[in-house]
Amino acid sequence: MTASAEISTERGTGSEPERVVMLHAQDLFCVRDDRILFQSLNFDVRGGDILQVKGSNGSGKTTLLRILCGLNQSYEGTIHWYQERIEEQTESFYGSLLFIGHRVGVNKVLTPVENLRWSCSLQKQVSDKELYTALKEVGLHGFEESQCFTLSAGQQQRVSIARLLISDASLWVLDEPFTTLDSRGVKQLEELLKNHANAGGAAIVTTHHNLEISALKELTLV
């Protein structure tokens, strides 16, 4: 079995006021194919944090995100949401979570507005005006009623990103959200992340893109 380790660093402005811990991971341990992905992994995510999970391919970045979102139970350790175990307050946690995986999360038979209407309805009722406005803001004006299989990979990714404009979730978990975006889309998503953090929300992101965010925190899986 090959051991792995984690290094946590932070880029920022030095001292800052104490902020509430939203998510706390304690002593996480995960093995895949007889290989330790990570062990004794501890970190906090506070309101206002943008945490970039870094590491080489196969280091466990996606696995970690799926564990945090409750999509992978093959691990040891505990995860707390506002100081209580997630298992004891699933409704509160999942009601505050928005997860976008590295595979474009759209039904390609449906249109962008239909995809957005369905995904948003899982948490709240949204008017058609809000749906069309969000799609316009991510550059999909004129494509709202086109079936998603006719769109490019980048346009399909924009459908997923439009969810960020509508959701009330305080914690965003995004797995490689920049992969298919052009430079305009990258800049827009960075602004969305900054605005979300400035409003007191938090985000956990995996990406090989160099984020232009001054107070970014980094968690590197080695």
State residue 17's pLDDT score. 59
Q: pTM to 2 decimals?
A: 0.89
Q: Above 50 in pLDDT, residue 3? A: no
- Answer whether 122's CB lies under 8 Å from 166's CB: no
Q: In angstroms, what CA-CA distances link 207 with 67, 137, 216, 218?
A: 17, 23, 13, 11
Tell me what the pLDDT averaged over the chain comes to. Answer: 88
Res. 33 pLDDT band, cuts 50 70 90: confident
Averaged pLDDT for residues 99-105: 82
Q: What is the pLDDT of residues 121-148, one digit of tens each?
A: 777 788 999 999 999 999 999 999 999 9
Give the torsion sign (CA, 71, 72, 73, 78).
negative
Three-state secondary structure call for residue 93:
helix
**Per-residue pLDDT reduced to its tens digit, 105-121:** 789 999 999 999 988 87
Domains and CATH numbers, the chain: 1-96+170-222 (3.40.50.300), 106-169 (no CATH)
Residue 16, pLDDT score: 56
Mean pLDDT over 141-167 rounds to: 94
pLDDT at 69 over 80: yes
Q: Which amino acid is at 127?
A: S
In terms of C-beta distances under 8 Å and separation of at least 24 residues, what long-range contacts does 83-89 make, across chains too?
83/21, 83/24
pLDDT computed for residue 192 by the predictor: 95
Per-residue pLDDT band for 7 (boundaries 50, 70, 90) equals very low
Is residue 98 scored above 70 in pLDDT?
A: yes
pLDDT band at 160; cut points 50, 70, 90: very high
